[in-house]
Amino acid sequence: MMSTKSRNNLYKASSATIVQQQSAQISELTAIIGQVFTDPAAAKAKFAELAKPKEERKMYVKEGALFKRNDGYWEARLRIDGVQTTIAKRKRQIDAYNALKEAIEEKNSQPQKLPQKSFTLFSWLDHWHKVFRIPKMMRNELAESTIIGDKTNIRKIKKTYNDVKLKDLSADYIQIGIDKVFETEPRSAEAMYFTLKMALHKAKTIIGHDVMEFVERIKHERVSGRALSVSEVDIIMQSCLNQLELDILHCYLYTGVRPDELTREKVLYINLTSEPRLLTGLTFMSKPVPDVLLRPNHIFIDGTKNPLSQRCMPIFPQLRPVLERLCEGRKPEDKLFNMHYEQIRQFQRRIKLEKEIDFTLKDFRHTCATNCKESGIPIEVFHKWFGWSSLRMAKQVYTHETELDIEKGEEYSKTFSVCATTSGIREGY
């Protein structure tokens, strides 16, 4: 139920809007009356124009509302999916109204829903993603990385199931598919479960009930990351079948990037010269961000997890020869590695099974952070290189006391430290 304060705000906003519209109409009528004797045809045409219904005002009254906040700002709200959502906050009422008008036009321009009987599982997932998820990203309610994750989960669902009619879906059919994926990829199965749960909950009006209510929840045991030992890194590197796999793992080891961030890295983002470089046209969550001055011998990481994920870090001596070889003769807009993240995971899983080493790509991030700490770099400095949202994350999650090999305890700090200036990349890697 609307509170007294909200009702008063609504009344004030509506009254102010009406007064403003009436003042504009009076001014316009005065100008037209002056033309009655000088140009009757033009005056008649303008009177006819004024007589037309005002669509903008109709949209405003029916679909949205303006409220004046206690801090003096005007707030524009629009009802989306049955929920009144804040669209914009502006100092001037006209600016808030224009933002509301644009949001209404965008909402009305969205594709109409398909007839209920025509939906299949695949068409509904695409429809749900386009109608319910992407608009939330545009309103900054969802991160771009979440939308990318949705697309990945939908692709996996399409590989697992047949494109059956939505009304023919059963809980048993969904459960069998998720259980099959869980045997080999428990984390993917969990992601599929939650995507199906959200999508099919919106399809209750078509199916008649919530199918996922009868599907057993899938939850894999999350394993905390760890720093790899010298011997483990040796074995992993020597297990690479080609130079490309070796270069990829070196980039993970000496940059500490998140697993999916490496697939977005471009040649342009790597400055191997002695002059600074200005990076322009960057975006975060599909919105432009300020230009970045990339210092010499630095690399820019285009992360999407949080606003601090877009960051710059120095290129360590061990990695420089690798980047020089990868960037040679390439165009600035070229990706450093023309591979999908799933392709990288495939050879990581191959090494994991062949050598019986329990590791993930994210363990290289933990290893890089731990080595920065052991090399004496202040945590206040290197936490910015990794794009963490807080120092707590760096201290409690990513920096570990490594279990050094007894035989290589002294060698570890000299040859494996990311800050060593003389070791370079070891032979055989």
- Pair (188, 237) in one structural domain: no
- Pair (410, 278) in one structural domain: yes
Q: How far is Cα 157 from Cα 153, in angstroms, rounded to an integer?
A: 6
- Pair (101, 127) in one structural domain: no
- Pair (411, 304) in one structural domain: yes
Where does the pLDDT of residue 428 fall: very low under 50, low under 70, confident under 90, or very high at 90 and above? very low
- Pair (139, 103) in one structural domain: no
Q: Is 70 exceeded by the pLDDT of residue 255? A: yes
Answer with the one of 48, 78, 108 that is the final residue of a domain.
108
Is the residue at 428 inside a domain?
A: no
Residue partners of 45: CB distance under 8 A and separation at least 6: none
Q: How far is Cα 276 from Cα 65, in angstroms, rounded to an integer?
A: 48
Q: Is 90 exceeded by the pLDDT of residue 413? A: no
pLDDT mean over 334-346 = 90
* Amino acid, res. 399: T
DSSP 64-128: EEEEE-TTS-EEEEEEETTEEEEEEEESSHHHHHHHHHHHHHHHHTSPPPPPGGG-BHHHHHHHH
Where does the pLDDT of residue 162 fall: very low under 50, low under 70, confident under 90, or very high at 90 and above? very high
- Pair (168, 291) in one structural domain: no
Answer with the one of 153, 183, 214 that is the final residue of a domain.
214
Q: How far is Cα 235 from Cα 233, in angstroms, rounded to an integer?
A: 5
Closest CA to 189 of 153, 222, 225, 162: 153
Is the residue at 422 inside a domain?
A: no
| Structure confidence at residue 38 (pLDDT) | 64
Is the residue at 403 inside a domain?
A: yes
Q: How far is Cα 316 from Cα 272, in angstroms, rounded to an integer?
A: 11
Is the residue at 223 inside a domain?
A: no
Where does the pLDDT of residue 97 fall: very low under 50, low under 70, confident under 90, or very high at 90 and above? confident
Q: Which residues constitute the domain of residue 173?
A: 118-214
Where does the pLDDT of residue 137 fall: very low under 50, low under 70, confident under 90, or very high at 90 and above? confident
Closest CA to 416 of 372, 352, 354: 372
Is the residue at 221 inside a domain?
A: no
Structure confidence by residue, pLDDT tens digits, 273-292: 999 999 998 887 667 888 99
pLDDT mean over 405-428 = 34
CA distances from 367 to 226, 228, 257, 316, 322 (A): 7, 6, 11, 14, 19
- Pair (103, 132) in one structural domain: no
Number of domains in the chain: 3
Tell me the backbone φ, ψ of residue 391, rounded to 5 degrees.
-70, -30
Which segment of 34-38, 133-137, 149-153, 362-366 scores lowest on mean pLDDT? 34-38
Q: Which residues lie across from 283 on neighbouring strands?
A: 288
CA distances from 325 to 7, 134, 145, 222, 415 (A): 66, 39, 30, 37, 22
Closest CA to 270 of 239, 246, 247: 247
Q: What 3-state class would DSSP assign to 54?
A: coil
| Structure confidence at residue 335 (pLDDT) | 93
| Structure confidence at residue 223 (pLDDT) | 66
Which segment of 9-18, 67-76, 130-139 scores lowest on mean pLDDT? 9-18
Where does the pLDDT of residue 422 fall: very low under 50, low under 70, confident under 90, or very high at 90 and above? very low
pLDDT mean over 392-398 = 67
Structure confidence by residue, pLDDT tens digits, 196-246: 999 999 888 778 888 898 898 877 776 678 889 999 999 999 999 999 999
Mean pLDDT across the chain: 78
